Amino acid sequence: MIDRKDKFDGHPDHAHSLKEMIGMRVCDKDGQEAGTLTDIIVDMNNGMVAYLELTVDGRRFAVPFGSVELDDRRHALVLKMHRSTFQRSPGREQ
């Protein structure tokens, strides 16, 4: 177990368990709450996070990991896009 006080690659605050991230709030680029993080998809070939599954307005979307930033201050993920992008995109119903 990693103690949060220990150095993890020089950036202890950038290491988060998947358990603590699932259910995290998701905000859009404008700071408006958009939904929640419901799953994290890992590419088993390289061990890297490939996609995040977000639930927005009752629909699920897979977005590339690089399309969000973690805002530790608000304990939320922030999309690098506007909410309207999701409203136009096909998503899966829950």
Instruction: Determine the pLDDT at residue 74.
Output: 81
Residue with tokens 């859009």, as numbered in its chain? 28
**Where is average pLDDT lowest: 4-8, 61-65, 77-81?**
4-8
Strands of 76-79's sheet in order across: 68-71, 76-79, 25-27, 33-43, 48-56, 59-64, 92-93
Instruction: Determine the pLDDT at residue 8.
Output: 43
CB 17 within 8 A of CB 1: no
pLDDT of 57 strictly over 70: yes
Per-residue confidence band for 92, with pLDDT thresholds at 50, 70 and 90? low
Instruction: Determine the pLDDT at residue 7.
Output: 42
Instruction: Determine the pLDDT at residue 17.
Output: 77
Torsion angle, alpha carbons of 77, 81, 85, 86, to 10:
-10
Instruction: Determine the pLDDT at residue 46.
Output: 93
Instruction: Determine the pLDDT at residue 38.
Output: 95
φ/ψ region of 80 (left if φ > 0, alpha if ψ in -120 to 50, else beta) reads alpha
Q: Fill in the DSSP letter of residue 12.
A: G
Nearest alpha carbon to residue 25 among 56, 49, 4: 56
